[in-house]
């Protein structure tokens, strides 16, 4: 490697003639000042979460970023090269694996942030340089390119930047070493649905190959296979992070797409798709309703919004669990409650294994809220929450209310702790607190099965509260969906309770239900004030302008 100089003030190495690296998102100074004042800069740092104020700070401080690397077996003693370390969000996770980490970042400000984020990690060396200007003497077990490869043409001096860069990385790897690439899919379903291309801020540019001279480019699945094979990467595996690789909540494995008894679509359909630019998408398609049919036609992998690509010269199955079908992460909760849920095929059975992501401590425990983790058998069928949402969005109110009635009848038969004069006054079993439709599977024989019994709440709740709890969450999560379809939300709740033989309650009681729900929810998942997209007057004008431009384009095409 060329001689590197050490900057003792910032704790990073750099080339003597280091050129200014122009990449930045404008948050670097805020990130540095924040990290400089905090004692705890770890992944689940509560004080770090409080510093999230907008999309850039969410991207750098979120405890969901690290999920992109969690499925992979990076162990103590491995040599890992992280290319484009950003401000250290992934580096801090790599550091905690106790592997030997070399992170290379072209921006000096960002490199300084990595060192601040990993201030106590002696196994991390930070180099400020363009990685292609460095001569490494060692070979690596893992090289990561998380949100980096799409910028290759902008920062590479190679004549054929993508092909030659892959060749460059291959030569830095051990024969079984893994190249890990996380990147948007140019053919992602969200782009067909009119979402803006993440880097260029306009719809369809990736689909139409209109990257121009931006130096940015993403690729589809088959393009990746051809490029990697040409670069002599013979072993290639794809993983599919949802809603995307930036803030992944669920990661589907290829085995999960091939397993006929596993419903991958219902696992990803409820997830929100984020906007990453100021102007909203230009059409009104509902991506949540499309995934099921994409999945049924074996297109989910090809149309995934993002990829994780794992490539090596020689096959080595020790890097990930080949029996895993998917992993879902709840990594934005309060201390003690963050989990991963693995769906694993063992012989002829699919098991659901829920595990903690961090060691549980005595703090933040609640005397009346019990958090249970463990293993249960996977239930084959449709998620009732997905079925209800589909019926409501399709304006099939008859089906929506019939499914609600099925669920409420299931609750009447199963949840009462003791006999009472009416179902409305019976205290429910604490373990049924979370028996809302998103945790109910409707099997082929139309029976309902309660899954994921993670929460047990020791309050004297009655059945009307559980019904309200689901409808309240549906309304809040989908930004007024019930109100748009039915009108007044409280009136609708009262009618559903009455139609199903439950207590007719007033607004004061519903307000109390809302307060209870918010109190419990905020204990488990602290509220966030982050605004990824700011709905200002200027953005509304941009929306209108862009949609008019789109309509004009269609008009020209038609004539």
User: Which stretches does DSSP call E strand in 106-220?
Assistant: 124-128, 140-146, 173-184
Record the tokens describing residue 527, joined without a space.
């509220």
Question: Dihedral (C-alpha) 148, 154, 157, 161: value to the nearest 10 degrees?
Answer: 60
From residue 248, alpha-carbon distances to 63, 67, 307, 357, 380 in Å are: 10, 6, 11, 15, 24
Predicted local confidence at residue 556, as pLDDT: 45
Please indicate, yes or no, whether residues 156 and 61 belong to a single structural domain of this protein.
Answer: yes
Locus of tokens 């290759």:
152
What's the whole-model pTM score?
Answer: 0.92
Domain presence at residue 185: yes
Q: Which two tokens stand for residue 508?
A: 């004061």
pLDDT computed for residue 541 by the predictor: 52
CA dist., res. 210 & res. 197, Å (int)? 10
387 and 305 together in one domain:
no
- Which residues lie below 8 Å from residue 519, measured CB to CB, with a gap of 6+? none
In this prediction, residue 548 carries a pLDDT of 53
Give the domain range for residue 392.
Answer: 382-524
Q: Of how many residues is the chain composed?
A: 559
Specify whether 176 is located in the same domain as 314: yes
Q: In terms of DSSP bridges, do strands 339-346 and 324-330 run parallel, antiparallel, or are they unpaired?
A: antiparallel
Residues 304 and 162 in one domain: yes
Q: How far is CA 173 from CA 69, 134, 142, 478, in A?
A: 18, 15, 7, 46
Residue 475 near residue 482, CB atoms below 8 Å:
yes
The number of angstroms, rounded, from the C-alpha of 31 to the middle of its chain's C-alpha atoms is 22
Residue 44 lies in a domain: yes
What lies within 8 Å, CB to CB, of 96 at 6+ separation is 42, 43
Report strand pairing: 324-330 vs 250-253: antiparallel
Do residues 70 and 546 touch, judged by C-beta distance below 8 A?
A: no
Query: What's the number of CA atoms in the CB half-sphere (13 Å) around residue 362?
Result: 0
Is there a domain that residue 529 lies in?
no
Instruction: Looking at the structure, tell me whether residues 48 and 150 fall in a common domain.
Output: yes
Gap between the Cα atoms of 470 and 491, Å rounded: 15
Report yes or no on 361 lying in a domain: no
Q: Residue 22: its pLDDT value, please?
A: 72
Omega prior to 243 cis, within 30 of 0: yes
For residues 410 and 448, is the Cβ–Cβ distance under 8 A?
Answer: yes
Reduce the DSSP state of residue 173 to 3 states and report it: strand
Which candidate, 47, 42, 119, places its Cα nearest to that of 357?
42
Residues 360/280, Cβ–Cβ less than 8 Å: no
Structure tokens given for 142: 């893992």
- Taking 50 as the pLDDT cut, the residues of the chain under it are 533-540, 543, 546-547, 550-559
Q: How many domains does the chain have?
A: 2
Residue at which a domain ends, from 267, 298, 318: 318
The answer to whether position 229 is within a domain reads yes
| pLDDT value of position 363 | 66
Residue 349 lies in a domain: no
- 379 token code pair: 């239930």
- Where are the strands (E) in 313-458, listed by range? 324-330, 339-346, 349-356, 369-371, 375-377, 382-383, 440-442, 448-450, 455-457
Q: In what order do the strands lie in the sheet with 448-450?
A: 382-383, 440-442, 448-450
The CATH number of whichever domain residue 128 belongs to comes to: 3.40.50.150
Q: How many helices (H) and strands (E) does the chain have?
A: 19, 19
Q: Answer yes or no: is 342 within a domain.
A: no
What's the distance, Cα to Cα, between the start and end of the chain in Å?
Answer: 61
pLDDT at 441: 98
- The DSSP symbol for 370 reads E
Residue 360 lies in a domain: no
Residues 296 and 405 in one domain: no
Same domain assignment for residues 305 and 391: no
146 three-class SS: strand
Find, among 296, 306, 191, the residue nearest to 240 by Cα: 306
Share of the chain above pLDDT 70, in %: 91
Backbone angles phi, psi at 60, to 5 degrees: -85, -25
Selection from 95, 99, 96 nearest residue 76 by Cα: 99
What is the C-alpha separation between 387 and 260, in angstroms, rounded? Answer: 19
Tell how strand 79-83 and strand 140-146 pair up.
parallel
305 & 436 share domain: no
Asked if residue 509 and residue 423 are part of one domain, the reply reads yes
Same-domain pairing of 302 and 434: no
Give the end of a domain, one of 285, 318, 351.
318
Of 550, 493, 509, whose CA–CA distance to 280 is shortest?
550
Residues pairing with 143 in the sheet:
81, 179
251 shares a domain with 124: yes
- Asked whether residue 310 falls in the same domain as residue 428, the answer is no
Q: What is the DSSP letter of 416?
A: B
Q: Fill in the DSSP letter of residue 151.
A: G
Buried/exposed 475-487: b ≥16 CB within 10 Å, e otherwise: beebeebbeeebe
Say what the pLDDT of residue 545 is: 55
* Cα–Cα distance, 557 to 207 (Å, whole number): 17
User: Measuring CA to CA, which residue among 225, 247, 375, 255 is closest to residue 320?
Assistant: 255
Q: Which two tokens stand for residue 415?
A: 């949840």
């Amino acid at each position: 490697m060329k001689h590197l100089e050490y900057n003792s003030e910032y704790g990073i190495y750099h080339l003597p003639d280091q050129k200014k690296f122009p990449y930045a998102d404008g948050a670097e100074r805020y990130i540095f000042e924040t990290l400089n004042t905090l004692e705890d800069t770890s992944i689940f740092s509560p004080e770090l979460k409080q510093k999230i104020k907008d999309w850039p700070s969410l991207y750098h401080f979120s405890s969901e970023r690290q999920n992109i690397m969690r499925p992979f077996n990076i162990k103590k003693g491995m040599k890992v090269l992280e290319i484009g370390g950003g401000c250290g969000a992934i580096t801090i996770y790599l550091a905690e694996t106790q592997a030997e980490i070399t992170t290379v970042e072209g921006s000096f400000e960002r490199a300084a942030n990595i060192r601040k984020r990993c201030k106590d990690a002696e196994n991390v060396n930070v180099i400020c340089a363009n990685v292609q200007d460095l001569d490494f003497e060692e070979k690596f077990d893992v090289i990561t390119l998380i949100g980096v490869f799409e910028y290759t043409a902008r920062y590479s001096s190679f004549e054929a930047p993508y092909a030659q860069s892959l060749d460059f990385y291959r030569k830095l790897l051990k024969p079984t070493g893994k190249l890990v690439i996380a990147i948007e899919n140019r053919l992602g379903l969200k782009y067909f649905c009119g979402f803006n291309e993440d880097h260029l801020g306009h719809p369809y540019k990736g689909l139409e190959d209109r990257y121009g001279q931006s130096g940015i480019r993403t690729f589809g699945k088959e393009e990746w296979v051809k490029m990697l094979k040409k670069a002599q990467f013979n072993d290639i595996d794809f993983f599919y992070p949802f809603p995307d690789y930036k803030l992944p909540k669920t990661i589907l494995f290829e085995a999960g797409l091939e397993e006929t008894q596993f419903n991958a679509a219902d696992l990803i359909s409820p997830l929100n798709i984020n906007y990453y630019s100021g102007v909203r998408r230009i059409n009104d398609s509902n991506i949540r309703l499309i995934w099921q049919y994409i999945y049924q036609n074996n297109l989910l992998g090809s149309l995934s919004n993002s990829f994780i690509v794992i490539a090596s010269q020689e096959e080595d199955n020790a890097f990930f669990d080949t029996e895993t079908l998917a992993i879902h992460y709840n990594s934005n909760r309060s201390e003690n409650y963050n989990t991963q849920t693995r769906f694993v095929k063992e012989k002829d059975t699919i098991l659901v294994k829920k595990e903690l992501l961090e060691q549980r401590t005595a703090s933040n425990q609640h005397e009346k809220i019990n958090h249970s983790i463990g293993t249960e058998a996977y239930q084959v069928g449709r998620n009732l929450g997905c079925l209800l949402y589909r019926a409501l969005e399709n304006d099939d109110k008859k089906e929506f209310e019939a499914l609600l009635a099925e669920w409420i009848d299931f609750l009447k038969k199963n949840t009462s702790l003791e006999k009472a004069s009416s179902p409305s006054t019976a205290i429910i079993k604490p373990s049924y607190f979370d028996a809302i439709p998103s945790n109910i599977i409707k099997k082929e024989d139309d029976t309902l099965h309660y899954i994921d019994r993670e929460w047990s709440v020791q309050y004297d709740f009655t059945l009307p509260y559980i019904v309200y709890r689901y409808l309240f969450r549906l309304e809040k999560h989908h930004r007024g969906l019930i109100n748009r379809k039915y009108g007044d939300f409280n009136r609708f709740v009262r009618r559903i309770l009455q139609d199903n033989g439950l207590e007719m309650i007033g607004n004061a009681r519903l307000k109390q239900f809302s307060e209870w729900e918010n109190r419990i929810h905020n204990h488990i998942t602290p509220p966030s004030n982050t605004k990824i997209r700011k709905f200002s007057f200027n953005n509304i004008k941009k929306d209108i302008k862009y949609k008019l431009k789109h309509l004009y384009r269609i008009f020209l095409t038609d004539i």
